[in-house]
Structure 1
Amino acid sequence: MPQKPPDGSLPPDDGALPAAALAEVTRRPFGVYVHVPYCAARCGYCDFNTYTAADLGGALVSSVGLTTFVDIATGEVRLARTVLGEQELVVSTVFVGGGTPTLLTADDLGRLLRILDDGFGLASDAEITTEANPESVDPAQLEQLRAAGYTRISFGMQSSRPHVLAALDRRHTPGRVPEVMRWARKAGFDQVSLDLIYGAPGESEADWAASLDAAIQLGPDHVSAYALTVEEGTKLSRRVRRGELLEPDDDLLADRYLQADDALCAAGLTSYEVSNWSRGTDTRCRHNLGYWRGDHWWGIGPGAHSHVGGVRWWNVRHPAEYAARLGAGRSPAAAREELDAQARRVERVMLGVRLAEGLAVGELDGPGREATAGLAKSGLVEPGALEFGRVRLTRRGRLLTDTVVRALLPD
Structure 2
Amino acid sequence: MPYLVDCLKSVEAQTLGADRMEIVAVDDGSTDGTGAYLDEFAAASPIPTRVIHQENSGGPSGPRNVGLAEARGRYVFFLDADDYFGPEALERMVAMGDRNGTDVVLGKVVGVNRGAPKSMWRRSLDRTDVFSSNIKFTLSAQKLFRRELLVRHGMRFDESLKTGEDALFTMEAYLRADGVSVVADYVCYHLVGRTDGVHVTKSGSYTLRFDSARALMKLIEEHVPAGSRRDSLMIRPFLITLLPQFGPGFLKQSAEVRRHKLELAEPLLDAYWSEGVSRRMKVHERLRLHLVAEGREDLLCDVLEFLRDKRTPEVFGGRDGRTYLGYPHFRDGDAGVPDRYYAVTTKEMVPADRIQWPTSSRARIVRGLRRSAGAVLRRTVRRPARPVSVPAVRAAAPPAPPVDEAPKQLAA
TM-score (norm 2): 0.31
More strand by share: 1
TM-score (norm 1): 0.31
